[in-house]
Amino acid sequence: MQKNNPSITFSEWRELDDNDSANEYGLRLKNEQIGMSLCLRDYNTQQTDNKPIEFIRITDRADAKLWSNLFFQSFGYLISDEVICEIKDQVEFYNLKYKGQLVGTVIIYTLDNSVGIHSLGITAEFRKKGLAEKAMNAILSKAQKENLDYGHLQSSPMGINLYKKLGFKEIFKMYNYILK
């Protein structure tokens, strides 16, 4: 595998207190994500300021290319516009705009009376301004109005404090490994 596909990623889901055994298999940690859930009955809408963040739904190739670029700026890796165009009718992809400027991305997926929030990313120049929190409050408030029961997401270590502040609880960890 190392010869044919040296950049392949292996993912492993574990309980919060399980030990890491990947090193003995010749794998190196690439990144980790923390699976989190929130019972929407326990969520209290929080206002950050009067100016709302705008969610622009991806509907065509041009929007998908823009989303892909903003995602790359936020996360440092690419999801191609071809992939987005293939699934945009089943999964809601959004560019985020604030005060007339594009600031990031998010994916929203509703299933089994729950909302999944994925790829919420704010580009570097707009971080630390409360925009991710503003986006989360809008998503969670809408989910409550739609009488959904839960919100689910996977957080990077960068976002975990925001999600805990909003009431999300850690339920598992996902580790992504690459070959050494």
The amino acid that residue 164 corresponds to is K
pLDDT of residue 14: 63
User: Any idea which of 23-27, 133-137, 175-179 has the lowest mean pLDDT?
Assistant: 23-27
Amino acid residing at 107: I
Amino acid 25: pLDDT: 67
Q: What fold is seen in the domain 9-179? A: Aminopeptidase (3.40.630)
With a CB cutoff of 8 Å and minimum separation 6, the contacts of 50 are: none
Question: For residue 45, what is the DSSP state?
Answer: -
Beta strands in 24-66 (DSSP E): 27-39, 54-57
pLDDT tens across 113-147, in order? Answer: 999 999 999 999 999 999 999 999 999 999 999 99
pLDDT for 30 equals 74
Q: Return the higher-pLDDT residue of 173 and 134.
A: 134
Q: Which residues contact 149 (CB under 8 A, 6 or more apart)?
A: 39, 40, 41, 113, 114
pTM of the model: 0.85
Q: What value does the mean pLDDT of the chain take?
A: 88
pLDDT at 45: 75
Domain boundaries along the sequence of the chain = 9-179
pLDDT of residue 6: 57
Report the pLDDT value the prediction gives residue 147, as an integer from 0 to 100. 96
In this structure, are residues 9 and 152 in contact, taking their beta carbons and an 8 Å threshold?
no
